[in-house]
Chain A
């Protein structure tokens, strides 16, 4: 992660694409943790990665790095 600005642009772009506020997955509707700042990030679970070559992102492979996770949808 080098320059924050292009990343921001990419995120805002993704954000605009999935701007409709709706549940991401039915099972997540009930409990959304309120204060997560300071809480250790959980392991990422995903089936297929795009635009990615190299180590599958895991807590171990990401340790020491700053990373930004965006939960989004195509709709």
Chain B
């Protein structure tokens, strides 16, 4: 996982992430502490699975050998936000199994198994841990739903609805799914939100095309998107991108 930290403002960093089409995780308003403190940027640190720093240097001198060495013997966690690393300590064998399921991104399966184990009166300490784990998973689902809503508020409709769809799909058949499915239907029926979504999908396609061909060639399409979806979040973003396209 790559985490790119800047101490600059949200405005500056957010605009940069959009303009450059950055896909790695980026943070604004960061404060470097202890061993991460330093004089120059960019500087890079590789941290091992035990939380200790393995390498420090300029990103240009970080080679794949360093990363391959670092990754040796590391359990692969699923490359999805459904992969959940709990905060609590889970020491019982059956509780560790739950944690492993969650790390693989099998969140619904992990939650069901945790609830079953928690309900097992003869389960002893494993039941207690399973109960705590189930609580953590439910809290995490709530967090993901909140994040989805925050994307929707920011008119990043594709990302927001994708998170909701992923959750609805993962928890299909459980009592967590119906409210999420309801919310998705509500978005579909809402004139404003459905238009926002359509506009965001269209903008996403232009962004993909721009990565391959550059923004200049997308200018006309940006103009028609702005016209067609006037007043949407995507149109506002498209206006900024059009200025960029025209200056390229």
Contacts and interface: CB of A to CB of B under 8 A. Distances in A.
Interface stretch (B7-15, B110-118, B200-208): B7-15
A49 B42 contact: no
B41 interface: yes
A39 to B, nearest CB: 5
B27 A47 contact: yes
B27 to A, nearest CB: 3
B189 interface: no
B241 to A, nearest CB: 17
B171 to A, nearest CB: 16
A: interface residue count bin: 35 or more
Contacts of B64: 4-5, 8
Given A47-B29, A49-B25, A67 B12 contact: no
Contacts of A37: 53-56
Interface string A43-62: 11111111111110111111
Provide the main secondary structure of the chain B interface: mixed
B75 interface: yes
Interface stretch (B65-73, B175-183, B228-236): B65-73
A59 to B, nearest CB: 6
Contacts of B42: 14-15, 18-19, 70-73
B16 A66 contact: no
Contacts of A65: 1, 49, 74, 77, 85
Contacts of A60: 85, 87
A51 B151 CA distance: 11
Interface in B2-35: 2-8, 10, 12-14, 16-17, 20, 22-35
Nearest to B43: A71
Contacts of B79: 2
Contact of A15 (B3, B50, B58, B144): B58
A51 to B, nearest CB: 5
Contacts of A49: 25-27
Contacts of A24: 7, 32, 38-41
Contact of B26 (A29, A50, A53): A50
Most-contacted residue by chain A among B8, B37, B67 (CB, 10 A): B37
A14 B23 CA distance: 11
Given A37-B54, A42-B36, A50 B1 contact: no
26 contacts: A5-B64, A7-B67, A15-B58, A23-B40, A24-B32, A24-B39, A28-B37, A32-B38, A33-B35, A40-B35, A41-B35, A46-B5, A50-B22, A51-B17, A51-B25, A53-B147, A53-B159, A54-B84, A54-B147, A65-B49, A66-B70, A68-B44, A71-B5, A71-B6, A73-B7, A74-B8
Nearest first, the 4 closest Cβ-Cβ pairs linking A and B are A47-B29, A46-B27, A54-B81, A15-B59
Interface of A: 1-2, 4-5, 7-8, 10-12, 14-25, 28-29, 31-33, 36-55, 57-74
